[in-house]
Amino acid sequence: MTGIAESDKAQLPTHQGTDLAGGLRGAVSDTMAMLWRDSVRTLRQPEMLVFAVVMGVFFLVLFNYVFGGSIGAGAQIDYLQFLVPGVLVITALQGAQQTSLGLAADLSEGVTDRFRSLPMSQVAVIAGRTLADAARNLAGLILVALVAFLMGYRFTSFLGAIAAIALATGVGFAFSWLGAAIAVKVRQPDMVGMLSMFWLFPLMLASTAFAPADSMPGWLQPFAKYQPISVASDAVRELANGSGVDSSLFLTLGWVVALLALFVPMSVALYRKVI
Amino acid sequence: MHSVLQGLWPGRGSRVRPPTSIGAQGAPRRDLPPSGGTYLKANEASQVSDRYMDIVSTNIDTMSTSNSTVIEAQGLYKSFEEIKAVQDLSFAIPAGKVLGLLGPNGAGKTTAVKMLTTLLPIDQGSASIAGFDVAERPEAVRRVIGLAGQSAAVDEKLTPRENLELFSWLYKIPRKERRARIEGLIDRFDMTEFADRPVAKCSGGQRRRLDVVAALVAQPQALFLDEPTTGLDPRSRSELWDAVQALAAEGTAILLTSQYLEEADRLSDHVIVLDKGREVAAGSPEALKKRMGQDVLEIHVSSEDDRSTAVGAVTESAVMTSVAGSQQLDINVEGGAAQSLQLLRRIDDAGVSIVDFQLRRPTLDDVFLALTGAPTSDSGVTPS
């Protein structure tokens, strides 16, 4: 009897997966599964994408036709060329807010407990979400760029357009992790919605997305020049309008790395901790 | 296959502190009569069907000291600040057996399930699933359990088929096998009709069925069903019960929580009644009901006059409950059918026409209400 059991033992599947490579492969597979799940959900809920695009178009129309005249005249710039890259970054930021809201709603659903009872990498629950939101953001950005084109905006080159949209998507992805950390910490969707106003609006409005920093009061300028949305707006503007790359691109990439380095481990730790 | 499995289930190891066991091999509960040895013996685990072979085989190393017990809890405690959610809960569930955790809302049922399924840390005590310690090897535990019900739902936006695809992907079932396995489950649990409809648009019964099936994709050795039929219509409930019984028959160890006494009665081999986190009674449903005493003969007559005549006819020989103005008598009978017949005959001889009667065993409702101190039902059963 024992002999048969022993020989059977030799054919055991080796899915114990304690080695690092196996663990990593598992985490990638889980993230792909969650990405698939979140993408299916996004496609079945196109309102989120529509909302993102409508907000982008709203900003384009509002700022260009309402404030554009005075801001453009004051700074002596072609305001639409200035505005569109900023709106791309803002659209990506809005997408990050939706990560926060969506994840909080997701966590309050019973399916999250099932995920936690599965032999899966728990990071995947958040990573799948942020990646799916990045994909949705990319689609939203392309649509907003098309509307901008119809309004008369012109990218200087196709490559520049790709680089600009890619960078905006990257910034949105980094902020998605900030949104995820808040969602995992706070949990209640309505609370998360309120909290997101606190980081979203200062970053959005006290930035160079809609107006040059020169026109702002002196005390605000340091923040308005170096906060992530400003440097991102500047960098996307440079890429889109072909005005040459300067330090803002590197500052933007630095912000992206810093945000990820801070909020990826934080959101994972908070997610693991929660009952 | 038999010999292999028998090799896996060595004799019972000695334990310092035996937990409540459903199996005949466990020490009898201190407050219960011995349960008569009708339960699974160690070698009957060879009835475990082929589909458990893989999982069972992988556990050889860690199983060497255990027997057929799949789910085991020893002295579990859990508190949330001031609230003692679970206190000193112990049990052992062998393969193919169903343990019912019965209790009202807040009794600690879900907390117990969450501790056993790695969702909540255990304050004190220990638990193991298929030989894996829940606190030390949560990853291994998650591979051999399935969780369904109140504390684990499915994705509302996906269809049942997509949900099963997602969960089997997360269980790392090879892509090639997934389709066949999912189709098999859809087929077996009669889900074809709604397999491609988003869950949000499925009926409550369909959703619960998917819930349970989703816990089965990895063919778990231990299945946790947390109030699986709450809010279901009787037909869906009965279908789900059939499915649970079939799974137990195939060798799955099942922990079921319920507020429905009927459900625990019908499905469980062993019931633990919880109240405020504490075990207030344990035993087979039959033993629990027996503990509550006598059967009740319920007689319906057609008028108040008939009722008083009937009461007069049997009043010397029986203890009864009968409300003036009603048309019903409840008589406690110790002698079962023979005594009942005698009582009925006597009432009949007194010229009363009996409209209806039934001989009723005390229900688990009676047991439950008596044990948890809630108002007793009007069946005349008193707390022991």
Q: Which of A114, A115, A122, A273 to mutate to test the interface with B (most CBs of B within 10 A)?
A: A114
Which residues are within 8 A (CB) of B122 and not within 5 positions of it... i.e. 6 or more apart? B76, B77, B78, B115, B134, B135
Q: Smallest CA–CA separation between A145 and chain B, in Å?
A: 30
Which of A167-176, B108-117, B340-349 is predicted with the least confidence, judged by mean pLDDT? B340-349
Mean per-residue pLDDT, A36-41: 94
How confident is the model over B352-375, as pLDDT tens digits? 888 899 887 776 666 666 676 654
| Residue B272 phi, psi (nearest 5) | -115, 125
Cβ distance B221 to B95 under 8 Å?
Answer: yes
Contact B152 A110 (CB under 8 A): yes
CATH classification of B2-152+215-289, choosing from 3.90.1150.10, 1.10.760.10, 3.40.50.300, 3.40.50.11030?
3.40.50.300
Percent of chain A with pLDDT over 70: 92
Mean per-residue pLDDT, B43-57: 37
Can you give the pLDDT at residue A258? 97
Contact A113 B143 (CB under 8 A): no
Domain boundaries, given as residue ranges, for chain B: 2-152+215-289, 294-361
Determine whether A77 is exposed, middle or buried from the number of CB atoms within 10 Å of its CB (0-12, 13-18, 19+). Answer: middle
Q: Smallest CA–CA separation between A72 and chain B, in Å?
A: 46
Cβ distance B120 to B72 under 8 Å?
Answer: no
| A10 lies within 8 A of chain B by CB | no
Can you give the pLDDT at residue B370? 67
Is the confidence at residue B217, as pLDDT, over 50? Answer: yes
Alpha carbon distances (Å) from B232 to B205, B208, B244, B261: 6, 8, 15, 15
Contact B145 A117 (CB under 8 A): yes
Can you give the pLDDT at residue B72? 96
Which of A254-268, B4-18, B106-120 is predicted with the least confidence, judged by mean pLDDT? B4-18
3-class DSSP state of A207: coil
Q: Which of A19, A108, A118 to mutate to test the interface with B (most CBs of B within 10 A)?
A: A118
How confident is the model over B153-203, as pLDDT tens digits? 899 899 999 999 999 999 999 999 999 999 999 998 889 999 999 999 998
Alpha carbon distances (Å) from A139 to A142, B157, B320: 5, 21, 76
Can you give the pLDDT at residue A48? 82
**Pairing relationship of beta strands B145-149 and B222-226 according to DSSP bridges:** parallel
Domain boundaries, given as residue ranges, for chain A: 27-273
pLDDT band of residue A13 (cuts 50, 70, 90) is very low
| N residues, chain A | 275
Is the confidence at residue B46, as pLDDT, over 70? Answer: no
Element (H, E) at A247: helix A247-273
Can you give the pLDDT at residue B9? 33
Mean per-residue pLDDT, B50-64: 36
Give the separation between CA A236 and CA A82, rounded to whole angstroms: 10
Can you give the pLDDT at residue B333? 79
Can you give the pLDDT at residue B29? 37
Chain B hits for A114, Cβ within 8 Å: 147, 152-154, 167, 214
Percent of chain A with pLDDT over 90: 60
Mean per-residue pLDDT, B130-142: 94
Can you give the pLDDT at residue B299? 87
Cβ distance A157 to A208 under 8 Å?
Answer: no
Is the confidence at residue A33, as pLDDT, over 90? Answer: yes
Is the confidence at residue A263, as pLDDT, over 50? Answer: yes
Cβ distance B227 to B150 under 8 Å?
Answer: yes
Chain A hits for B174, Cβ within 8 Å: none
| A26 lies within 8 A of chain B by CB | yes
Report residue A193 as tokens: 């919605």
Contact B158 A26 (CB under 8 A): no
Order across the sheet with B253-258: list the strands: B132-133, B124-129, B69-80, B83-94, B278-283, B270-275, B98-102, B253-258, B222-226, B145-149
Numbers of helices and strands, H then E, in chain A: 12, 0
| A273 lies within 8 A of chain B by CB | no
Chain B hits for A111, Cβ within 8 Å: 152-156
B83 closest CA partner among B101, B106, B114: B106
Chain A hits for B142, Cβ within 8 Å: 117-120
| Residue A47 phi, psi (nearest 5) | -55, -35
Alpha carbon distances (Å) from B302 to A155, B306, B320, B331, B356: 92, 7, 18, 17, 9
Can you give the pLDDT at residue B60? 36
Order across the sheet with B295-301: list the strands: B319-321, B328-333, B295-301, B354-360
Is the confidence at residue A157, as pLDDT, over 70? Answer: yes
pLDDT band of residue B152 (cuts 50, 70, 90) is low
Q: Which residue of B has its CA nearest to A110?
A: B153
Can you give the pLDDT at residue B229? 84
Can you give the pLDDT at residue A19? 60
CATH code of the domain occupying B294-361: 3.30.70.100
In DSSP notation, B104-166 reads -TTSSHHHHHHHHTTSS--SEEEEEETTEETTT-HHHHHHHEEEEETTB---SSS-HHHHHHH
Determine whether B81 is exposed, middle or buried from the number of CB atoms within 10 Å of its CB (0-12, 13-18, 19+). Answer: exposed
Beta bridge partners of B226: B149, B257
| A185 lies within 8 A of chain B by CB | no
How confident is the model over B81-107, as pLDDT tens digits? 888 999 999 999 999 999 999 988 888
Alpha carbon distances (Å) from B28 to A18, B18, B31: 40, 9, 8
How confident is the model over A170-211, as pLDDT tens digits? 999 999 999 999 999 998 889 998 998 899 999 998 999 998
Which of A239-248, B5-14, B329-338 is predicted with the least confidence, judged by mean pLDDT? B5-14
Q: Smallest CA–CA separation between A140 and chain B, in Å?
A: 21
Amino acid making up residue A115: F
Give the separation between CA A152 and CA B42, rounded to whole angstroms: 80
Q: What phi-psi label fits residue B146: left (phi over 0), alpha (psi between -120 and 50 degrees) or beta?
A: beta
Q: Smallest CA–CA separation between B3 and chain A, in Å?
A: 5
Can you give the pLDDT at residue A215? 82
Contact A113 B151 (CB under 8 A): yes
Which of A9-23, A243-257, B34-48 is predicted with the least confidence, judged by mean pLDDT? B34-48
pLDDT band of residue B297 (cuts 50, 70, 90) is confident
**Whole-number average pLDDT of chain B:** 77
Contact A41 B155 (CB under 8 A): yes
Is the confidence at residue A252, as pLDDT, over 90? Answer: yes
Percent of chain B with pLDDT over 90: 37
Give the separation between CA A260 and CA B235, rounded to whole angstroms: 51
Which of A84-93, B34-43, B128-137 is predicted with the least confidence, judged by mean pLDDT? B34-43
Q: Smallest CA–CA separation between A31 and chain B, in Å?
A: 9
Q: Smallest CA–CA separation between B7 and chain A, in Å?
A: 5
Can you give the pLDDT at residue B293? 62
Chain A hits for B167, Cβ within 8 Å: 114, 118
Q: Which residue of A has its CA nearest to B113?
A: A117
Give the separation between CA B219 and CA B217, rounded to whole angstroms: 5
Can you give the pLDDT at residue A77? 80
Contact A13 B157 (CB under 8 A): no
pLDDT band of residue B135 (cuts 50, 70, 90) is very high
Give the separation between CA B111 and CA A55, rounded to whole angstroms: 44
Interface size, chain A vs chain B, as Cβ–Cβ contacts under 8 Å: 101
Q: Smallest CA–CA separation between B33 and chain A, in Å?
A: 36
Can you give the pLDDT at residue A136? 93
Residue B111 or A246, more confident = B111
Mean per-residue pLDDT, A15-26: 66
